[in-house]
Structure 1
Amino acid sequence: MARTHVYFCALFISTFSSVVLALEPVCPVCSKYDYEEKLLERVIRMEFTVEKIVKDNKAAVSDQINEGLDIVRRENAQLRELISEMSTNHTDYERQQSNKVEESLSSARASLDDAIQLTKAKETPFVLFHASNPKDTSPATGDTIVFSDIQTNEGLGYDDVTGKFTAPVSGLYMFFIQVCVYDKVYVNLQLVKEANVLIGSSYYHTQGHPCSSAQVFTRLVESESVWVYCVSGRDQAQLYHTTSARWTSFGGALVHI
């Protein structure tokens, strides 16, 4: 009987030590899931060990050892419940964290959408035109030079009937004129905005058909117009244009709103 008590005490101490060791994480930097898995593995291994001890010592098994074994099994069952509860708590925690992440992502997406919409609202519209080939090569003083060939007219600002560009939106614009002239003919043209001179240029050459250009930047309010104005007209041809080499033309673009 004394041997039985000693055996039971040894078994109980061994089992208690295994339980205590199982409750201590061996790797402080491991994840919670890793800790739970190792804990469960130790519990199962301990049960197998106890079963083997009982199987190998059937002759020495007594009621006290069976009672001790039942205690170990109950403790193992409690440990299993604890592990399951910990896993559930971790799942709830992860779900909470996942919800927080989703909320943050939704907020970030909303902010991004707002920024995109704001950027689009401030985006510079595509306004660009280029027209060439003056309808009248010998304009009179005060005439608007009308260009009949339209290469591009994005935004539909240029009117090839009036010869005027009318701003579809307010903003900063750049305009240019290129003028080719007949030799020994004086030409004086201006770019005007609502009858206000933006830039003026004179053209004259003794031979050939020289070309020259002028550029200007100006701000326009929506519906304001810009056109090419003839300062001094002539009865003879002044403006020269060929589609192959020399273009007398007028163009512009919206640079910034």
Structure 2
Amino acid sequence: MVRIEFQMERMKTEMEQSVKAVENMKTGTDDTLKAFDSKLETYDENVLRMKAFETKLAKTVSEKHQEHDKDIDEKLAALENKTVETLDKKIQELQAIKDDVFTTTVAFKARLDSNIAVATGQTVVFPTVLFNEGDSYNRGTGKFTTPVSGTYMFTMAFCLKNIQTLVAGIMVDHKKYTVTLFYGDGNNECLTGDTVAMLTAGQVVRVEVLAGSSTGRIINQDDSYRWNTFSGVLIHR
């Protein structure tokens, strides 16, 4: 009887030890699972952090790239503007050199188309235009208006008949620039008068009768042999 009880007690003890061992194993497993869960949670957090960092890094790179592109565009635009300004300046310099070297063509010549009698104070109108480069001579008024500032030369020529005289002047605005006495003998003599003038744009040049007569034929125009003319040319700007 005692032996059976002893055996029972030993089996009970062994079973309790087995149960304890299982409980210990379960505790260890639970601890391991907890540690794994903790590591897994840490891993997930690290993954989220890495994704957030990746997003932030991509945004930063994109912003830096845009800033870099903007900086390049601004530098290119500034370079382009500077280049254009430099070219414009060079073109202006070349234009100024061209203006100094080349003189604009301004020239005219006109003549009478018939015999006329003139009176003192009259502006002589030469209606037949031979050429008018620069379109500055007015055939209706007999006046030449300077299109540009510069040095000009003007010439007048008159043919008189029957021992008559004419005093005429080349006028700039209302100022005399030359005065010439024309005399006609029996051979219908032709004489000229000229002047050189430094003028500014907009001044008016004309031929004015300073002494003459409105009766009889004073100026003798013959299309074949005697031309009465007024001409001018820009010599230098």
Which TM-score bucket, shorter chain as reference? 0.5 to 0.7
With normalisation by structure 2, the TM-score equals: 0.58
What TM-score, normalized by structure 1, do the two folds share?
0.54
1:255, distance to aligned residue in structure 2 (A): 0.6
Q: For 1:245, what is the secondary structure of its paired residue?
A: coil
Which sections of structure 2, spanning at least 5 residues, go unmatched?
1-86
1:135, 1:148 within 8 Å by CA — same for their partners in 2?
no
For 1:105-184, what aligned pairs fall within 5 Å after superposition? 116-122=94-100, 123-133=102-112, 137-184=116-163
Q: Which residue of 2 aligns with 1:249?
A: 229
The partner residue of 2:216 within 236, 246, 250 is 236
Secondary structure of the 2:217 match is coil
For structure 1, list consecutive stretches of 5 or more residues without a partner in the other structure. Answer: 1-108
Q: Which amino acid aligns with 1:194?
A: D
The 1-side partners of 2:234 and 2:145 are apart by 11
Query: Which secondary structure does the structure 2 equivalent of 1:238 belong to?
Result: coil
Q: Report the CA distance shift for 1:186/1:114 in structure 2 as closer, same or farther (over 3 A).
A: closer
Q: Any residues of structure 2 matched to 1:1-257 within 5 Å, and which?
A: 116-122=94-100, 123-133=102-112, 137-234=116-213, 235-257=215-237
Letter paired with 2:130: Q
Change (3 A) 1:242 1:117: same
Instruction: Identify if the C-alpha distance between structure 1 residues 163 and 173 changes in structure 2 by more than 3 Å, giving closer, same or farther.
Output: same
In structure 2, C-alpha distance between the alignment counterparts of 1:132 and 1:146, rounded to whole Å: 8
- The answer to whether the Cα contact below 8 Å between 2:171 and 2:206 also exists between their aligned partners in 1 is yes
Structure-2 separation of matches of 1:226 and 1:173: 10
Give how far 1:111 is off.
10
CA–CA distance in structure 2, aligned partners of residues 132 and 199 of structure 1: 19
Residues 182-235 of structure 1 deviation map (CA, whole Å, 9 limit, x = unaligned): 121111111111111111111113302110111110011111011000012311
Query: Does the 8 Å contact 2:160/2:185 carry over to 1?
Result: no
User: Cα–Cα, structure 1 residues 135 and 141, in superposed 2: closer, same or farther, change >3 Å?
Assistant: farther
Q: What SS class does the counterpart of residue 202 from structure 2 fall into?
A: coil
Identity of aligned residues (%): 28
- Cα 1:191–1:135, aligned 2, differ >3 Å: closer, same or farther? farther
One-letter amino acid of the counterpart of residue 253, structure 1 = V
**Offset of residue 113 of structure 1:** 6.5
Q: Which has the larger radius of gyration?
A: 2
Q: Distance in 1 between matches of 2:170 and 2:113?
A: 15
* Whole-Å separation in 2 of the counterparts to 1:246 and 1:136: 10
The size of the alignment, in residue pairs, is 149
Deviation at 1:119, TM superposition (A): 2.3
In 2, the alpha carbon distance for the partners of 1:110 and 1:137 equals: 55
Decide whether aligned partners of structure 1 residues 112 and 224 sit closer, same or farther in structure 2, where only a CA change above 3 A counts.
closer
Task: Work out which structure has the larger RCO, using CA pairs closer than 8 Å and 6 or more positions apart in sequence.
Answer: 2
- Tell me: CA distance 1:207–1:135, structure 2 relative to 1, closer, same or farther (3 Å): closer
